[in-house]
Amino acid sequence: MNRLSLGITASFLVPISRGYLLVDAGTTKSRTKLESALHTHQIDPVQIRYILITHHHSDHIGLVNHLRNEYPLIRLIAHQSSVPFLEKGTMAPTGCVNRRVKLLFSLMRMSNQDPIVLHPDDIFLEGDNDRLLPSLGLGAKILHTPGHTEDSISVLFPNGDCLVGDAIMNWPLNFLGSNPFPILIQDHIALKTSWDKLKTSGAKRLFPAHGKPIDIESLVSSKPPM
């Protein structure tokens, strides 16, 4: 597994039996960073066969259209509840972790994104799935981990490594005082339930899209900042 730093969001490139699975696709402005990262790892982008998006936010789907225009055989993997937001180019409404974050986002204009062109052979999941990735030659399973958004999914490997998207965050310097909580949360109860699911499913080391990996024990006593 290769971690690709694409600006504020990290993507992950995972080998499968015939090419690679790309987990998350950065922002629309991260094209040069992706091309550079692929070159560093000596990977031709034509080898990317699937893009799995952990959720529909713009910093995770930004390069989907570009990559699929260039390489039409790439298939998308996502949760079923992503579909209306992908098709319309909108974001689901979310709450915030604390007053500081609310103030920040009240000062920012949260723009929508370009609609994603969906293909008939794209794969949309309704919940946990332990068959799809093994069928692609990857010994891992997909967990539905809502909370940050309803459509959030994670990828759990047999060794306990887990790609969690924004189910947690680990911002450098923790400048908003929210770690390991995501700064935007759609459903606090669902998020904590998803954290419990990660623990009971065998996740040990969590790889967020924002920040460095953290151990699962870091979630045990975490309380959202006020």
Task: Report the C-alpha gap between 106 and 197 in whole angstroms.
Answer: 32
Phi/psi-derived region of residue 19, left when phi > 0, alpha when psi is between -120 and 50, beta in every other case: left
Q: Answer yes or no: are the C-beta atoms of 112 and 89 closer than 8 Å.
A: yes
Instruction: Locate the domains of the chain by residue range.
Output: 2-219
pLDDT band at residue 219 under the 50/70/90 scheme: confident
43-46: long-range pairs with CB below 8 Å, 24+: 43/2, 43/13, 45/70, 45/71, 46/71
Please choose, from the candidates 202, 195, 118, 120, the residue with its C-alpha nearest in 3D space to the C-alpha of residue 164: 195
Q: Which has the closest alpha carbon to 50: 105, 100, 125, 144?
A: 125
List pLDDT tens digits, range 146-169.
999 999 999 999 999 999 999 999
Q: What is the pLDDT of residues 30-74, one digit of tens each?
A: 999 999 999 999 999 999 999 999 999 999 999 999 999 999 999
- Measured CA to CA, the distance from residue 117 to residue 181 in angstroms comes to 31
The predicted model scores a pTM of: 0.92
pLDDT at 111 over 80: no
Closest CA to 21 of 41, 40, 2, 42: 2
Could you tell me which CATH number the domain at 2-219 has?
Answer: 3.60.15.10
pLDDT-based confidence at residue 95 (cuts at 50, 70, 90): confident
